[in-house]
Amino acid sequence: MRLDGRTALITGAASGIGRQAAELFAAEGARVVVADVSEEAGRATVAAIEGAGGGASFAATDVTRSESVAAAVAHAEERYGALHVVFNNAGIFPGDDTDPVETPEDVWDRVVAVNLKGVFLGCKHGIPALLRAGGGAIVNTASFVAVMGAATPQIAYTASKGGVLALTREVAVSYARRGIRANALCPGPVNTPLLEELLADPAARARRLVHVPMGRLAEAHEVARAALFLASDDAAYVNGTTFLVDGGISGAYVTPE
């Protein structure tokens, strides 16, 4: 098992990619700290892991608050003795995040606080724990829109994910010789409840899918497997990468119908 004997903290693990990653990491031997602001859904993730024979615990975590993230890291060390993997995955994508003119300032602030500051805080409090464990892996969820323009305007989300990309490179360079790898996971559109809601209009869905060479959204478990690779020793020499899992979107100029 690729994460046998290791402890992984995953933010946003109550649903979507985070939940799929939590269940997969546990199946691969990790003891998983499910860190999420949603207690009911977070505990459901823990129950699913335990029901499958894995080990997990829940830590109520607001990634925008330093003390909350610090407490989640402390929970991991106190419960399992060490922390080896930090998957900073929590993120939001509100429907009123559009272009720079129309996006309300409070929406900008909230998206940046969760998507970018949350990753910063995960690194701020997670890195000392990884160093205490002798090294480890950080996986930060960015997005394909961090490397190219989005088909529909989403200025705060795009800017926040671009920041995650830059932050990840900086961490990767700074800590590589101290045994820590950091990589940015950049999914394309993923079939999660959040995106399903945003693409409920068939016309909006069609506009999005025309840009995807594979003609479909990614499934959360497919992205989770990429996160597992980056977290494991399979990626022992992978550091500071922009790891695209986008079905070919970023490589396409014209997509055939």
Q: What is the pLDDT of residues 220-231, one digit of tens each?
A: 999 999 999 999
SS3 36: strand
- 49 within domain boundaries: yes
Rounded mean pLDDT, 139-163:
93
Question: Could you tell me which residues come within 8 angstroms of residue 245 by beta carbon, excluding any fewer than 6 positions away?
Answer: 185, 186, 187, 188, 218, 222, 223, 226
Please state, in angstroms and as integers, the Cα–Cα distance from residue 72 to each residue in 58, 86, 205, following that order: 9, 11, 37
Structure tokens at 214: 């594979």
The whole domain housing 60 covers 7-190+219-241
Question: What share of the chain in percent tops pLDDT 90?
Answer: 81
Model pLDDT, residue 193: 67
- 114 within domain boundaries: yes
- 18 within domain boundaries: yes
Contact by Cβ (8 Å): 139, 227: yes
- 209 within domain boundaries: no
Write down the pTM of the prediction. 0.94
Give the chain's length: 257
- 63 within domain boundaries: yes
Please state which of the ranges 48-52, 93-97, 159-163, 192-196 shows the lowest mean pLDDT. 192-196
- 248 within domain boundaries: no
Is 157 assigned a catalytic role? yes
Q: What is the CATH number of the domain that holds 129?
A: 3.40.50.720
Question: Looking at 61-135, which runs of residues are DSSP E strands?
Answer: 85-88
- 205 within domain boundaries: no
142, amino acid identity:
A
Radius of gyration of the chain (CA): 17
User: How many domains are there within the chain?
Assistant: 1
Distance CA 242, CA 123 (A): 17
Rounded mean pLDDT, 137-162:
93
117, amino acid identity:
K
Q: Which of these is catalytic: 80, 157, 175, 253?
A: 157
- 254 within domain boundaries: no
